[in-house]
Structure 1
Amino acid sequence: MLIERDANGDFILESSELAERFGLSLAALRRHMRHGSVVSTVEVGTAEHEGTKRVSLRLGNRLWCAVLNDANEVQHEHMTVLRGKAS
């Protein structure tokens, strides 16, 4: 997956690839995004993880995470289905 940064430093992810990761059509993912159902976070690595970033997107009980190197290349990614009540 290609992940870029815009002029403000925000991460730009390809919508069609995200939809595929979540098992959704592009239209369904965009609908969830318009309704504010997709929540994203970025964590910056420290100490032994210096230079890495973890980008996470949550939709319901599904959490997709990607760890990026200092060139914003995906080093690894995974999808987790969270147990219990989705927030």
Structure 2
Amino acid sequence: MMIERDPNGDFILDSSELAQRFGLSLTDLRRHMRHGSLVSSVEIGTAEHEGTKRVSLRLGNRLWRAVLNAENEVQHEEMTVLRGNAPGRSRR
């Protein structure tokens, strides 16, 4: 996946590739984006991870993460399905 930065430093990801990663049509992904249900975050590496960034996108119980090097090239990516609590059970 190609990840670029705009002049403000924001990350730009290809919508078609993201839709594929989440198993969605491009139309469905864009609908989720418009409704604010696709949430993103970026973490900047420190200490031994200096120069790297981790981009995370969450949609419902699915979490896609990519680790980028200093040139913003994807070094590793993974899709995780997050487990929730069973109905009626609380976290402790």
Which TM bucket (shorter chain)?
over 0.9
Displacement of 1:37 after TM fit?
A: 0.3
Displacement of 1:27 after TM fit?
A: 0.2
In structure 1, what is the Cα distance between the partners aligned to 2:60 and 2:35?
12
In structure 2, what is the Cα distance between the partners aligned to 1:76 and 1:23?
19
Ranges in structure 2 where 5+ consecutive residues have no aligned partner: 86-92
Displacement of 1:71 after TM fit?
A: 0.1
- Show CA shifts across 1:40-83 (max 9, x none): 00000000000000000000000000000000000000000000
- Which is greater in Rg? 2
In structure 2, what is the Cα distance between the partners aligned to 1:49 and 1:31?
35
* Corresponding residue SS for 2:33: helix
The answer to whether the aligner puts 1:52 opposite 2:52 as a matched pair is: yes
Which structure 2 residues correspond to residues 1-87 of structure 1 after superposition, within 5 A?
1-84=1-84
Percent identity over the alignment is: 84
Q: Which runs of 4+ in 1 moved over 2 A?
A: none
Q: How many residues are paired up?
A: 85
* RMSD between superposed Cα atoms in Å: 0.6
Q: Which amino acid aligns with 1:19?
A: A
Q: Which amino acid aligns with 1:34?
A: R
In structure 2, what is the Cα distance between the partners aligned to 1:23 and 1:62?
10
